Amino acid sequence: GENVEQHPSTLSVQEGDSAVIKCTYSDSASNYFPWYKQELGKGPQLIIDIRSNVGEKKDQRIAVTLNKTAKHFSLHITETQPEDSAVYFCAASRTGNNDMRFGAGTRLTVKP
C-alpha cells in the first residue's frame, strides 16, 4: 500500500520568511496530492491540492510542487504570518482507491 513520509516534523520561522514542507510517497500510481492545515481542536482543512498531470500549483502565498519521477511533493508558504501556525499534513491517493494516506504532520510555528 501507499506510504507517505513527511519532513520536517517541526518547523519554526520568523514572520515574513518562507516555509517549505516536503513529502515523499511510495505508490507510483498515486495521482492526487492534497495538503491540509489543522488547528488545535479542529479537523484538517484542505488548503491546496495538485494532480499528477501538473507540476506546480499556486494560490496566493501557498504553492505546491510535484516531482513524479522522484515521487515527492512540497508545500511552499511565502511571507508567513503568525496565523499560519498550525500542523500541516500532506496526503496521497490514487484513482479507484478510497484509502487516502496521510503523512505524520509538520508543526509550523511562525514567530512574530
Partner 1 sequence: DTGVSQNPRHKITKRGQNVTFRCDPISEHNRLYWYRQTLGQGPEFLTYFQNEAQLEKSRLLSDRFSAERPKGSFSTLEIQRTEQGDSAMYLCASSFRTNEKLFFGSGTQLSVL
Strand ranges inside the chain, DSSP E? 4-7, 10-14, 19-25, 32-38, 45-51, 56-59, 62-67, 72-77, 86-92, 101-102, 106-111
Among 19, 36, 64, 73, interactor with partner 1 by CB under 8 A: 36
Q: Is residue 99 within the footprint of partner 1 (CB under 8 A)? A: yes
Among 19, 21, 44, 80, interactor with partner 1 by CB under 8 A: 44
Identify the three-state secondary structure at position 64: strand
Stretch of 11-19, 44-52, 59-67, 74-82 lying at the interface with partner 1 (CB under 8 A): 44-52
Q: Is residue 102 within the footprint of partner 1 (CB under 8 A)? A: yes
C-alpha cell at position 40: 488545535
Binding residues for partner 1 (CB under 8 A): 4, 6, 31-32, 34, 36, 41-46, 49, 89, 91, 93-105
